[in-house]
Amino acid sequence: MKRILITGAAGFIGANLVIELLKTEPNVDIVGLDNMNDYYDVSIKEYRLSEIEKLASEKKNSKWIFINGNIADKTLIQSLFSEYKFDVVVNLAAQAGVRYSITNPDVYIESNIIGFYNILEACRNNPVEHLVYASSSSVYGSNKKIPYSTEDKVDNPVSLYAATKKSNELMAHAYSKLYNIPSTGLRFFTVYGPAGRPDMAYFGFTNKLIKGETIEIFNYGNCKRDFTYVDDIVEGVKRVMMHAPEKQMGEDGLPIPPYKVYNIGNNSPENLLDFVDILQQELVRAEVLPADYDFDAHKRLVPMQAGDVPVTYADTASLEEDFGFKPSTSLREGLRRFAKWYKEFYKV
């Protein structure tokens, strides 16, 4: 039985990963950590945790423990590592959001830099088989070459959030080299789905349309996003977790860093206007909005805003090659599942 630490376990990807592991692995021992902050509606985090608790209570051969705490709390992290002796660590705890990093930079340094440093130090002092951590497609900045490949140079972030994620990759590389810690960074591309983050466009648009407010579509709709359904992200994370980069010695007698980075994206960018169109259709289909809703009256095309990029597009060739996996959920199917969940959760 592997003992796994999942940080950000009440978060969107974290909670879905815990559920997937409990569902598919016959016996698994998971410690979940999350600080339950109020960056967005805490009731969604509580809902995700209640879904985990329900499932965990049925899985008699598996273990699930939840700890309310912050990865920036070094003493807590050190004590957890020495008490539980983790085999695998999946660090998904982070302050997310490009726009929020412009108005609230402090929390990004605390969580994404200091918090990640604490995880690395704990892995150094309590050796683990594999450290997997969340990076982001935002590290590509306004990369002109598409699709984005992990071979591309990523030295020009356009937001503090992106800079912290690039820093994570650099820190992990240094620790992999110095202490032979197998680590894999995963650059996620625009994750969406049921019980997602309300600050993401599809969720925020739905909240506004329900209230009869106007939604703003940036860059006059000329943006493309590689929307990736959460189940596809989780499947990618699960496969990567189980195969740590190999430890090897170099010609200099020192370890070659057991270090990898992969993109997890849908490999098919969608125009923002098409995305909004599909979202509208699925909200009507799920009866979240009435069939005669006047969408045109509630839409406004506005200029690009700071920190944003015109296109995201994942090259997933190395993920396919190494793990035989490629995300495949269509945008319509994913938004259909979101609309159905939204209706049930908010009792529309």
pLDDT in tens, 175-192: 999 999 999 999 999 999
- CA distances 144 to 47, 148, 149, 272, 319, Å, are 40, 9, 11, 19, 22
Residue type, 253: G
Interval 278-310: pLDDT, tens: 999 999 999 999 999 999 999 999 998 877 888
When computed from its CA atoms, the radius of gyration of the chain, rounded to whole angstroms, is 20
Would you place residue 274 in the very low, low, confident or very high pLDDT band (cuts 50, 70, 90)? very high
Quote the tokens at residue 242: 């189980």
Angle at 336 between CA 333 and CA 341, to 5 degrees: 130
Report cis status (omega within 30 of 0) of the bond before 255: no
Quote the tokens at residue 342: 């939204």
Pick the catalytic residue: 161, 192, 259, 313? 161
Total domains present in the chain: 1
Q: Which pLDDT belongs to residue 68?
A: 98
**Short-list 182, 346, 168, CA closest to 258:** 182
**Short-list 142, 145, 231, 138, CA closest to 188:** 138
Backbone conformation region of residue 177, classed left if phi is above 0, alpha if psi is from -120 to 50, else beta: alpha
Q: Structural domain of residue 202, as residue ranges?
A: 3-345
Interval 238-248: pLDDT, tens: 999 999 999 99
196 forms bridges with which residues in the sheet? none
**Short-list 100, 136, 131, CA closest to 116:** 131
Q: What is the DSSP letter of 169?
A: H
How far, in Å, CA of 75 to CA of 87, rounded? Answer: 20
Q: Which pLDDT belongs to residue 193?
A: 98
Q: What residues contact residue 278 under an 8 Å CB cut-off, 6+ apart?
A: 331, 332, 335
Phi and psi angles of residue 323, each rounded to the nearest 5 degrees, phi first = -125, 0
313: annotated active-site residue:
no
Q: What residues contact residue 320 under an 8 Å CB cut-off, 6+ apart?
A: 326
How far, in Å, CA of 20 to CA of 289, rounded? Answer: 31
Tell me the whole-structure pTM to 2 decimals. Answer: 0.96
Average pLDDT, the chain: 96
Instruction: Assign 188 to helix, strand or coil.
Output: strand
Would you place residue 255 in the very low, low, confident or very high pLDDT band (cuts 50, 70, 90)? confident
pLDDT tops 80 at residue 55: yes
Report cis status (omega within 30 of 0) of the bond before 303: no
Q: Which pLDDT belongs to residue 262?
A: 98
pLDDT tops 80 at residue 218: yes
Interval 113-152: pLDDT, tens: 999 999 999 999 999 999 999 999 999 998 889 999 999 9
Q: Which pLDDT belongs to residue 128?
A: 98
Rounded to an integer, the average pLDDT of 22-35 is: 96
Q: Which pLDDT belongs to residue 304?
A: 86
- CATH assignment of the domain containing 294: 3.40.50.720
Rounded percentage of the chain residues whose pLDDT exceeds 90: 91
